[in-house]
Amino acid sequence: MASIVSAVMSSVGRKILMSLTGLVMFGFVIGHMVGNLQLLTGGGDVFNRYAHFLIGLGGLLILAELVLLMSLLVHIWTAVNIVRGKRAARPVSYGKSGSAGAPSRKTFASSTMIYTGVLILVFLVIHIKSFKYGPAEAEGYVTTVDGVEMRDLHRLVIETFQQPEWVIGYAIAMIALGIHLSHAFWSAFQSLGLYHHRYTPIVYNVGRLLAFVIALGFFVIPIWIYYFGAA
């Protein structure tokens, strides 16, 4: 038991934990982005039916939420530990920073991970408070689809994105998300020891492309709703 704990606490162990939890959240954001695009393609009933279906999963949804929450907490804990470890090892920072060449790939994204991470965390707290725990049936956000009464989440999202301050806030958060993910995917494979001179450049480019698609997918939703309304 003690050896398992010390393996997890080692710097390699923490990096592995950070990668695995990051990949879990990466999977979630892809699913969440695809589901949310129904706001632009499906219409109110389709989106509300989808949200109601997820809530109807009951225990399974709670389990998924717990896995996500644990992943987020472990990810934050490892990030704080790694940053602290780096600061302790190098109390005076080098004046200059730049790429150390492959396979290092030091980029703007890699050197701002902690800042984009904090921004995403702040976004997440506000996002979950305003949508998941925002006004529901009791506050009049209720609709009936196929004879079933359910929460009108669609109305809440549309009303939120009719306010420019929310649209700007989301746009900034989505840019931070894109920058964070553009380094995260490749870095996770690297930390898991999955380096291959031929495949690593492919993983790197696929990661950057996925990050761009995810951030863009989320980014267009508030902007589209603000200018053109929802489907």
From 105-113, 139-147, 194-202, 215-223, span contacting ligand HEM (CB under 6 A): 215-223
Q: Applying CB under 6 A, does 54 fall inside the site for ligand HEM?
A: yes
Shortest separation between residue 55's beta carbon and ligand HEM, angstroms: 6
Compute the least distance from the CB of residue 201 to ligand HEM, in Å: 27
Rounded to whole angstroms, the Cα distance separating 47 from 216 reads 20
Residue 215 contacts residue 119 (beta carbons within 8 Å): no
SS3 6: helix
For the window 175-204, what string marks contact with ligand HEM as x by the rule CB under 6 A? --x---------------------------
Using CB under 6 A, which residues numbered 121 to 160 contact ligand HEM? 124, 127-128, 131-132, 153, 157
Contact 141, 151 (CB under 8 A): yes
SS3 content of the chain, % helix, strand, coil (to 5): 75, 5, 20
d(CA 75, CA 14) in angstroms, rounded, equals: 9
Contacting positions for ligand HEM (CB under 6 A) = 29, 32, 36, 51, 54-55, 65, 68, 120, 124, 127-128, 131-132, 153, 157, 170, 177, 218, 221-222
